[in-house]
């Protein structure tokens, strides 16, 4: 069984991520979307909220699971018996960072390979950071995230305004 891991911060999940999940789910027998419990990075959403939002977005996929992980990605991948890490590439500007991560992961664990999927052109400009910026100014994020995520963003930022 080909188990693939799609790791990320997903703070929050966007249509760009969902597009990668959709295509990766057709390559993998089982796809695990793995949310990093990033202690050093200031996330808008807690790791549990991020996992919940992804679960709400992927209900139609029978072979996709969502989990959170701590520590090194390669250790987590090994614990799941996964040999393939999936990452999305939006533009050439993503490449340097992705190359560094993929090569580091391969030095750490030679058995684990990274497979890059090109993000759909219509989402190539999209990032969680941009979505948060638009939402923080009460802008319309309906083209970028699911209605459930848009709702949670609204609640999160409204809380900061009161
Ligand atoms: O969505 P992001 O923030 O670009 O995802 C980055 C992620 C989670 C894939 C990366 O930071 C990661 O794998 N972190 C776990 C720690 C680790 O394994 N580091 C060594 C490889 S860079």
Quick one: fold of 3-123? Answer: Rossmann fold (3.40.50)
Averages of pLDDT over each 10 residues, the chain, 162 residues: 97 97 97 91 92 95 97 98 97 94 98 96 95 96 97 88 54
pTM for the complete prediction? 0.95
Number of neighbouring beta carbons within 10 Å of residue 71? 10
pLDDT value of residue 116: 97
Sign, Cα dihedral of 93, 100, 118, 138: negative
Residues 25/61, Cβ–Cβ less than 8 Å: yes
pLDDT value of residue 5: 98
88 Cβ below 6 A of ligand 1: no
Among the options 17, 50, 132, 152, which is catalytic?
17
pLDDT value of residue 39: 75
pLDDT value of residue 38: 79
pLDDT value of residue 44: 95
pLDDT value of residue 151: 97
pLDDT value of residue 14: 98
Domain extents for the chain?
Answer: 3-123
36 Cβ below 6 A of ligand 1: yes
């Amino acid at each position: 069984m080909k188990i693939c891991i799609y790791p990320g911060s997903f703070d929050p999940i966007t249509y760009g991520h969902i597009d990668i999940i959709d295509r990766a789910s057709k390559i993998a027998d089982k796809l695990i979307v793995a949310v990093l419990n990033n202690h050093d990075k200031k996330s808008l959403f807690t790791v549990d909220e991020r996992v919940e939002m992804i679960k709400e977005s992927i209900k139609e996929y029978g072979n996709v699971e969502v989990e959170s992980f701590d520590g090194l990605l390669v250790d987590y991948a090994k614990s799941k018996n996964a040999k393939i890490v999936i990452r999305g590439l939006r533009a050439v500007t993503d490449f340097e960072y992705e190359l560094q991560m993929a090569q580091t992961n391969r030095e750490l664990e030679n058995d684990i390979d990274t497979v890059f999927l090109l993000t759909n052109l219509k989402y190539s400009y999209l990032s969680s950071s941009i979505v948060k910026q638009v939402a923080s100014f009460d802008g319309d994020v309906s083209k970028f995230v699911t209605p459930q995520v848009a709702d949670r963003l609204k609640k999160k930022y409204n809380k900061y305004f009161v």
